[in-house]
């Protein structure tokens, strides 16, 4: 049976973590102390349960807790070697674990174990950090909270900080918590309810003070020309800049992006003080570990042209990289980890919004959320004082902490298509859906484009949440609709790497029965549609400078001549030659262009279910339900081709295993001799 203290801890943590005013994603930690029976001795033993390293309070479960013996934790006080050897203490926590121990203990474990209170909360609320980063934060703490909250000067998280807070708790029995300079808040209580109540009181009291006493324009007056663009123009400019911005953020290694035009971001960028404040960087360790110490800020007004913005962004990127290298060189020691890359994680564009980047969509999105937290902190600190974050040497010590390096080393190996972004047309069912599903399973972010937006969104939801897959409407015969689909892709995930031309339909008619309308419809959807999608996507692929893959789902009919199929087979032959033409043209940009030639894929196919199956069955003189078996029996391998088989071939083409292959058509037809490539 779960200990009651643990049940209360999980419930409290989830409540606190689910409200962004209390703490940011994966920010802060909570704990509870209690007694259990030692299974070895049968005697009662005091334990502390504390959120483990890297966990999130809002979704915390029991398996995310580290479980330690209090007697052994307290014994560490007698062997603590001092702040110069802080890192050794985290390793020492492993020798305090109880039983299987649960999650890995975090750097803040000492704070929870050493403070003499049954329940402890350490949080990163915007209002609390605003006071913590104010130039006169200590004085403000006394003014706002009296003697119920005690100021703690900045100290890097670790064992000594735990000792400091334990001492404050002991010497200030009237206090319910602390403001940690440059960092956040800590509160405690003898019951879970009391600890939560004290945490919320500190957060809400700080917020109320800022609201009452803050300046009307904490970021300064409006900066002429830097106001938000109208909605349509704002998103159009964001889409037009996305490829350039991703190339900037990916110079060292490819990343996925997230875009937001949150009004608070736009307000910040429209104000006179934003260049000064952005240059100061973030302060809370949780912030700058995800956002880098400061963002790249475009220093042009909102109505600057895309061309001028791109040129200036390229210049600013070079300056940013040099500045970050200087930051590393000034602060690195011989035993510091190697530089992890000098590209920005946050790029701010006045009038447009914020672009954030990371190893996957969730990481990119959360980085943006953290910088929004930082903007809120700056607003509060500037409103009642002056924003004064910790200095760069302290930031560096945390960013390049050996413990942070160890945490990164514990991350799972990325999947083969991690950081890659795919647009799949005609993907709400059949082959397209199977391709999107496989690409997502291999780590890619996928955009499912289909004529039927509702079906596209349902298919995306089956694959994953919005950090993995999104569904959009797209008519590939319409030039504007195709451009809108590409724009939606780069706004959803920051860029584009993989393009799957799969949208199609089939009309099974003899030559004399095929109308001009039939011919035009077939060619508009597949030949023209593939051309439009490839052209719009190529602009992004070229600007990003990251290479890419364009894959055409053609057909064995691009080679094989069968009866009653003139319009369909001719347009498939068109697509097949587009592969060769584009492979020749896009190779210099590192873009590979290949094709798949499936045989008839009956099961799960929207085309076959829409009447094509019945017509082909009639041509071959078999029952429609037996068409798949018929196709299988005419192949060399006697195997039916399924959507998943086509998806497998697409994955291989887009993987590193075929990094040197372009202009190829892969038959996925179980062996149709008449369709052999010659």
Catalytic residues: 568
DSSP states along 79-96:
G---GGGTHHHHHHHGGG
Q: Under a CB-based contact definition with an 8 Å cutoff, are residues 194 and 12 in contact?
A: no
Read off the tokens for 231. Answer: 């909605």
Cβ neighbour number for residue 582 with a 10 Å cutoff: 23
Give the whole-angstrom CA distance, residue 263 versus residue 563: 60
DSSP states along 133-192:
TBTTHHHHHHHHHTTSEEEE----SSHHHHHHHHHHHHH-TT--EEEETTTEEEEEESSH
Give the whole-angstrom CA distance, residue 556 versus residue 667: 7
Give the whole-angstrom CA distance, residue 335 versus residue 339: 12
Read off the tokens for 132. Answer: 């913590």
Dihedral angle sign, alpha carbons of residues 525, 531, 535, 541: positive
Give the whole-angstrom CA distance, residue 595 versus residue 576: 7
Residue with tokens 């049940």: 7
Give the whole-angstrom CA distance, residue 651 versus residue 659: 12
Q: Under a CB-based contact definition with an 8 Å cutoff, are residues 234 and 351 in contact?
A: yes
Give the whole-angstrom CA distance, residue 337 versus residue 325: 14
Residue with tokens 């202009």: 663
In what side-by-side order are the strands of the sheet with 591-598? Answer: 469-473, 445-450, 421-425, 498-501, 548-553, 591-598, 665-668
- Rounded to 5 degrees, what are φ and ψ at 49? -105, 125
Question: Quick one: which H or E segment has residue 419?
Answer: none
- Rounded to 5 degrees, what are φ and ψ at 594? -140, 170
DSSP states along 465-477:
-TTTEEEEE--TT
Contacts with 393 (C-beta within 8 Å, 6 or more apart), sequence order = 331
CA-based R_g, the chain, Å: 30
């Amino acid at each position: 049976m779960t200990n009651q203290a643990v049940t209360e801890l999980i419930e409290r943590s989830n409540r606190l973590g689910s409200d962004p005013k209390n703490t940011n994603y994966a920010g802060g930690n909570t704990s509870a102390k209690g007694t259990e029976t030692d299974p070895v001795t049968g005697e009662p033993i005091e334990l502390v349960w504390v959120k483990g390293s890297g966990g999130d309070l809002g979704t915390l479960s029991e398996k995310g807790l580290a479980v330690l013996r209090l007697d052994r934790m307290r014994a560490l006080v007698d062997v603590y070697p001092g702040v110069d050897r802080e890192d050794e203490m985290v390793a020492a926590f492993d020798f305090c674990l109880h039983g299987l121990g649960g999650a890995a203990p975090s750097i803040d474990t000492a704070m929870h174990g050493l403070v003499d209170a049954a329940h402890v909360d350490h949080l990163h609320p915007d209002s609390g950090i605003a006071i913590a980063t104010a130039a006169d934060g200590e004085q403000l703490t006394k003014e706002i909270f009296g003697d119920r909250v005690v100021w703690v000067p900045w100290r890097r998280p670790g064992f000594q900080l735990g000792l400091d807070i334990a001492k404050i708790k002991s010497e200030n029995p009237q206090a319910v918590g602390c403001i940690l300079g440059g960092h956040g808040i800590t509160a405690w209580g003898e019951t879970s309810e009391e600890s939560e109540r004290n945490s919320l009181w500190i957060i809400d009291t700080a917020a109320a003070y800022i609201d009452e006493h803050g300046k009307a324009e904490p970021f300064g007056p409006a900066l002429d020309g830097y106001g938000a663009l109208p909605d349509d123009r704002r998103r159009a400019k964001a889409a037009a800049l996305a490829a350039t911005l991703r190339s900037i953020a990916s110079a060292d290694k490819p990343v996925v992006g997230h875009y937001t035009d949150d009004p608070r971001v736009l307000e910040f960028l429209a104000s006179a003080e934003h260049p000064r404040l952005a240059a100061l960087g973030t302060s809370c360790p949780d912030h700058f570990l995800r956002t880098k110490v400061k963002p790249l800020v475009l220093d042009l007004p909102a109505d600057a042209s895309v061309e001028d913005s791109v040129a200036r962004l390229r210049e600013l990127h070079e300056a940013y990289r040099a500045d970050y290298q200087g930051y590393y060189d000034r602060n690195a020691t011989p035993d510091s980890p190697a530089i992890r890359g000098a590209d920005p994680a946050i790029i701010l564009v006045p009038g447009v919004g914020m672009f954030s980047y990371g190893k996957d969509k969730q990481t990119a999105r959360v980085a943006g959320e953290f910088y929004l937290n930082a903007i809120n902190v700056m607003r509060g600190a500037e409103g009642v004082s002056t924003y004064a974050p910790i200095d760069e040497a302290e930031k560096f010590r945390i960013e390049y902490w050996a413990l942070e390096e160890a945490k990164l080393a514990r991350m799972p190996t990325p999947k083969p298509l991690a950081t890659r972004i795919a647009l799949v047309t005609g993907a709400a069912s059949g082959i397209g859906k199977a391709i999107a599903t496989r690409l997502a399973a291999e780590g890619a972010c996928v955009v499912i484009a289909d004529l039927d937006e509702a079906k596209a969104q349902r298919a995306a939801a089956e694959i994953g949440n919005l950090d993995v897959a999104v569904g959009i409407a797209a008519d590939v015969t319409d030039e504007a609709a195709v451009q809108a689909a590409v724009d939606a892709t780069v706004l959803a995930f920051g860029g584009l790497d993989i393009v799957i031309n799969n949208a199609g339909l089939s009309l099974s008619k003899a030559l004399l029965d095929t109308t001009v309308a039939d011919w035009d419809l077939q060619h508009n959807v597949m030949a023209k549609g593939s051309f439009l999608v490839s052209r719009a996507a190529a602009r992004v692929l070229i600007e990003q400078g990251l290479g890419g893959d364009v894959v055409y789902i053609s057909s064995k009919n691009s080679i094989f001549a069968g009866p009653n199929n003139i319009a369909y087979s001719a347009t498939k032959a068109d697509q097949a030659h587009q592969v060769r033409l584009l492979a020749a043209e896009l190779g210099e940009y590192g873009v590979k262009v290949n094709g798949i030639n499936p045989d008839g894929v009956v099961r799960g196919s929207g085309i076959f279910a829409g009447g094509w199956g019945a017509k082909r069955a009639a041509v071959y003189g078999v029952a429609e339900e037996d068409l798949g078996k018929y196709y299988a029996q005419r192949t060399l391998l006697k195997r039916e081709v399924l959507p998943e088989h086509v998806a497998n071939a697409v994955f291989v083409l887009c993987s590193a295993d075929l990094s040197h292959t372009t202009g190829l058509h892969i038959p996925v037809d179980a062996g149709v001799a008449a369709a052999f490539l010659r």
